[in-house]
Amino acid sequence: MPAPRILILGATGGLGRALHRHLAAGYELASWGRADLDFEQPDTFSTKLASQKFDVLLNAAGMTSPDVCEVQPERAFLANTVAPQILAECCHARGARMIHFSTDYVFSGKTRDLWFETDETVPVNIYGRTKLAGEKAVLKASPAALVARVSWLFGPDKPSHPDNIIQRALQTDDLSAVADKISVPTSNADISGWIEQLIIRHPTTRGVLHLCNSGVASWHSWAEAALTIAARLDVPVKTTTVQPIELASLTQLKAPRPLMTVMSNARLQSVLGGEIRNWYDALEEYLVQKYQPQ
| 69-72: long-range contacts, CB 8 A cutoff, minimum separation 24 | 69/125, 69/126, 69/127, 69/130, 69/255, 70/125, 70/126, 70/127, 70/254, 70/255, 71/254
> Distance between CA 114 and CA 109 in Å, rounded?
10
* Amino acid, single-letter form, for residue 228: T
Element (H, E) at 189: helix 188-200
pLDDT along the chain (294 residues), means of 10: 93 97 96 94 94 97 97 97 98 98 97 93 98 98 98 97 98 98 98 98 98 98 98 98 98 97 98 97 98 84
Q: Dmax over Cα atoms in the chain, in whole Å?
A: 57
- The pLDDT score that the predictor gives to residue 112 is 78
Alpha-carbon separation of residue 163 from 20, 24, 223 (angstroms): 21, 26, 9
Q: How far apart are CA 52 and CA 238, in angstroms?
A: 50
Q: Are 287 and 229 in contact (CB under 8 A)?
A: yes
Is residue 127 annotated as a catalytic residue, yes or no? yes
Q: How high is the pLDDT of residue 29?
A: 97
Going from N- to C-terminal start, the domains of the chain cover: 6-217+251-291
> What is the spatial distance between Cα 80 and Cα 93, in angstroms, rounded to a whole number?
21
Q: Which of 127, 280, 286, 291 is catalytic?
A: 127
* β-sheet bridge partners, residue 29: 6
Amino acid in position 4: P
CA distance 20 to 167: 27
Kindly report the CATH class assigned to 6-217+251-291.
Answer: alpha beta
* pLDDT (0 to 100) of residue 226: 98
Output Rg (C-alpha) for the chain, integer angstroms. 19
Residue 220 CB burial class (10 angstroms; 0-12, 13-18, ≥19): buried
The per-residue pLDDT for 113 is 87
